[in-house]
Amino acid sequence: MNKTFKLQFTLNGRPTEAMINPSARLLDVLREDFGLTGTKEGCGKGECGACTIFMDGKAVDSCLVMAIQAQGHSIITIEGMAKEGRLDKVQEMLLQEGSVQCGYCIPGMVMSARALLNRNSNPTLDEVKYAMSGNLCRCTGYHKIFKAVLRAAQIEREAKSKI
């Protein structure tokens, strides 16, 4: 691969640069150049959400973004979710609720849920469904995933009201 493009961006909060193949997808650069294999490829055409990451705080499918389009932008992957060794509240609740079966869709689910809770701390079940309608899970039937997201929101609201 001819790595002729100098990509400069913020990756999981850190200013980062690397020489990359200019015609590579962001998904491939994250996984192969940076070793961030938590982001999964499912369908590769924007229908399953397994490759969901944050681009400037919005949940996007990294299979549909060219790596050079990340130039100057902030990218956060599932590896950037845990802070100081502590899981994000969404991750914690997915574990507690037993929401995970094979787990392949879960990194994408976490990103979409976090994107929702960052802009809406008190979502309804319908709002959770709308925000996560771009993420497919073939194991769980979604019920426990939605429950975990609603619980994460509730716990975060309660924590905030105590401060």
Partner 1 sequence: MSISIQRCTSLPELFQAIEGIKPPIMYLAGGTDLMVLLKANLIPDSAWFDISDIPDIKGITVKDDMLVIGAATPFDEIYPDANVLKWAKALSEAASNVGGPQIRARGTIGGNIANGSPAADTLPALASLGAQVNLLSARGERSVPIEGYALGNRRTVREADEIISSVSIPIRAGIKGAWKALGARKALAISKISLAVSAVLEQGSFSYLRIGLGSVAATVRRAPQAEEVLLNGGWNRETLEEACRIIQTEISPIDDIRSTAEYRKAMSGVLLHDALISAFGEAPTR
- Residue ranges that bind partner 1, judged by CB under 8 A: 22-23, 25, 44-47, 49, 52, 55, 58-61, 63-66, 68-69, 71-72, 112, 115, 130-135
Rg (CA), the chain: 16
Shortest Å distance, C-beta 149 to partner 1: 13
Nearest of 126, 154, 16 to residue 79 by alpha carbon: 16
Cα separation, 33 vs 17, in Å, equals 11
- Tokens at residue 77, please? 């992957």
Cα separation, 150 vs 68, in Å, equals 36
Shortest Å distance, C-beta 60 to partner 1: 5
Alpha helices in 48-142 (DSSP H): 89-96, 106-119, 125-131
- Tokens at residue 105, please? 């869709």
Task: Please say which residue, 98 or 121, places its beta carbon nearer to partner 1.
Answer: 121
Shortest Å distance, C-beta 58 to partner 1: 4
Shortest Å distance, C-beta 163 to partner 1: 29
Task: Please say which residue, 57 or 98, places its beta carbon nearer to partner 1.
Answer: 57
Instruction: Give the number of other Cβ atoms within 10 Å of residue 109's Cβ.
Output: 29
Task: Please say which residue, 130 or 159, places its beta carbon nearer to partner 1.
Answer: 130
Q: Is 30 helix (H, G, I), strand (E, B) or coil?
A: helix
Task: Please say which residue, 22 or 140, places its beta carbon nearer to partner 1.
Answer: 22
Shortest Å distance, C-beta 15 to partner 1: 18
Task: Please say which residue, 4 or 159, places its beta carbon nearer to partner 1.
Answer: 4
